């Protein structure tokens, strides 16, 4: 695996891609961060460390607001604009690109997957609703992605527990994998029956196996 960082000019400003390149890669997994943090998130770093050995190049994407050092995320439309602006750089290796993200980044991936012709959508900690507000559902963003999709969700995520998600359906029914005891950041309590390392392995194994089933 080789690692390099690339700056990309987009309409909302300079964005950044950190490439974790697999030799002989068959596809690219592009993953954006959430509204409360960056690419240092434990799940994103675990994927970048584990997947290149499976022939998957992982591109960790930093939105312009984050690169500029701002503390508050941009509006959804601006996030989508930044992701669109990055897409040509993500497709430059000439491989299929799976659009992914955690939390707000997952929403961006879902909203833009069809127009960008993504090979699939990876939604990590999809924020199905604001905490304590299940009536404010964002399920249509997920079900409307129009691409094969995998949701990886913590069992105690206040933004939507696995059992709260609607039944998969349509031409591209999504798959859902639960990270037992995981919160919105996939942290597990020290008293849990699974360790933090095991929780992260659940994520990397599920994502790796799902990506292996996608058409190349």
Predicted model pTM: 0.96
- Over its C-alpha atoms, the chain yields an Rg (Å, rounded) of 16
Backbone CA torsion sign across 45, 54, 178, 109: positive
- Which of 151, 19, 44, 33 shows the shortest CA–CA distance to 97? 19
- What pLDDT does residue 186 have? 97
d(Cα 184, Cα 64) in Å, to the nearest integer?
Answer: 23
DSSP count for the chain of H helices, then E strands: 6, 8
How do residues 2-24 score in pLDDT, each as one tens digit?
A: 899 999 999 999 999 999 999 99
Output b/e per residue, 13-23; b: 16+ Cβ within 10 A. Answer: bebbbbbbbbe
How do residues 42-53 score in pLDDT, each as one tens digit?
A: 999 999 999 999
How do residues 100-128 score in pLDDT, each as one tens digit?
A: 999 999 999 999 999 999 999 999 999 99
């Amino acid at each position: 695996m080789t690692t390099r960082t690339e700056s990309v000019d987009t309409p909302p400003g300079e964005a950044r891609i950190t490439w974790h390149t697999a030799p002989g890669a068959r596809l690219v997994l592009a993953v954006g961060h959430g509204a409360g943090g960056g690419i240092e998130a434990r799940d994103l770093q675990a994927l970048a460390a584990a997947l290149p050995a499976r022939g998957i190049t992982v591109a960790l994407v930093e939105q312009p607001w984050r690169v500029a050092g701002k503390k508050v995320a941009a509006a959804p439309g601006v996030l989508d604009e930044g992701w669109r602006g990055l897409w040509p750089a993500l497709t430059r290796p000439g491989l299929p690109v799976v659009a992914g993200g955690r939390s707000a980044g997952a929403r961006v991936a879902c909203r833009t997957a069809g127009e960008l012709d993504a090979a699939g959508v990876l939604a990590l900690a999809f924020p199905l609703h604001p905490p304590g507000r299940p009536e404010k559902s964002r399920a249509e963003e997920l079900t409307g992605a129009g691409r094969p999709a995998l949701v990886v969700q913590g069992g105690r995520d206040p933004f939507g527990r696995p059992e709260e998600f609607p039944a998969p359906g349509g031409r591209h029914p999504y798959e859902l994998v639960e990270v037992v005891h995981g919160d919105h950041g996939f942290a597990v309590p020290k008293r849990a029956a699974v360790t933090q390392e095991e929780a992260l392995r659940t994520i990397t194994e599920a994502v790796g196996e799902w990506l292996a089933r996608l058409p190349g």
